Structures are given as C-alpha cells and as structure tokens.
Amino acid sequence: MSILLLGGSPQLPSSSSRLLLHIGEQLALQGHSYAKLHVRDLPARALLLADYDDAAIARAVRAVADADAIVIATPIYKAAYTGLLKAFLDLLPQDGLAGKLVLPLATGGGHAHTLALDYALRPVLHALSAKQVFTSIYANAQQLDWHEERGLSLDAPIAARVQAGIEELSAGLFVLQGRRPPAPAEVPHPVRSLQDQPYAPQFQAA
C-alpha cells in the first residue's frame, strides 16, 4: 500500500519538509512505500486558477487519489496552515480523501500554535471524507535540530509523539491490507533522516 508525503511549505528545505521526510523514512523501514509531493513545485498559475487541464496539476490530484495514506506537513503561519496547502486541497473533489488514512504534521516557532492543526486543518480533512485522521503532531523550532552531517534530530518528547504517529499509521495500513501488524522492534528507531536536501542556515524555515 502506498503513502503520499504531501508538503505544504513554500520553502524547501524547511523544518516541516524534513520532519515529513523523516516520517516517510521510518514508515519505509516498516515495509511501506511512499512518494513525495511538494505543493510549491506545482505551477503557481495553474494551482491558483484550479486548472485541471494542466498536466502537473492532474498528476498531483491523481497521486492523492492513488495513495492509501497521506502524511501532510505544513508550517503554521498566522495560526493556520499555509495558503499554498489550502489552494491544493481546494483542488480535490469533495470526497478526495475517502478511504484514506491521514497523519497531519505542523511546525512552528513556539507553543502558541500547538492546536492550530486541530482547529484549522483537521475539519478540512474530515470534510474531504478521510477514513481516519490520526492524532496531529506539532513540533516547535526548539524540538527539531538539523545538522548538515548528522541530519535531523528530535528531542525526546516530540520523538515519542512522532514514533506513536508512525506506529498508528503503519498499523492502520496493515489493517487495510488485512494483515496483522508486526511486533514492535526491540531496538529504538533512529531519529536521523537521509540527507537528500541541501542545507544552508538561511533556509532553516518552518
């Protein structure tokens, strides 16, 4: 079964995109395949005009339709998810997430917007008929550390929440397949991500 990593940040790399990739890698270790879609890579005019005839837009909408699960990541701006992500979700049909498992993620500068996912994004995901929306994961800048050589590190509290989200989503996918989830591993999962994105200090964005 396939997972789509859907990134809603206008900047790349960013804290939210790195957290998104980290979760994708951990899910891959549990036997799941994933694809990546960053909304910022779509043609801006076609996105804003909801041009379904545009080939890139059509492929992106189809990628959502073909996925069994969606992991959505966004920075929080002004107590809400990004307008970029909103523009893409508006392209989906009313039941665009029907039958799908969804794990929402967000990053921000502090604790003030911890509930922004639940108040802003979660209602939209339910309106799109998601089968199940798992517990939201919000990480602030102090909980994520990026190092050019070591990759992404999570502090203990957010690492525990991320691991719980990964296990919930993985178990849900196995249930959809009619399979029993594997027993938990005895060794802890690493919190380091593959370094497939360039890093520069000025790009340490949400």
What would the pLDDT profile of 152-203 be if each residue is shown by its tens digit? 889 999 999 999 999 999 999 999 888 766 665 543 444 444 444 443 333 3
Omega of the bond leading into 13 within 30 degrees of 0 (cis):
yes
For the stretch 50-65, pLDDT in tens is 999 999 999 999 999 9
The CATH H-level (homologous superfamily) assignment of domain 2-177 is Flavodoxin domain (3.40.50.360)
The Cα–Cα gap between 169 and 181 comes to: 11
- Regarding beta strands 137-140 and 101-108, do their DSSP bridges make them parallel or antiparallel, or are they unpaired? parallel
- Cβ contacts of 51 within 8 Å, gap of 6 or more: 45, 57
Q: Give the predicted TM-score (pTM) of the model.
A: 0.85
Q: C-alpha distances in angstroms, 45 versus 41, 79, 159?
A: 12, 26, 38
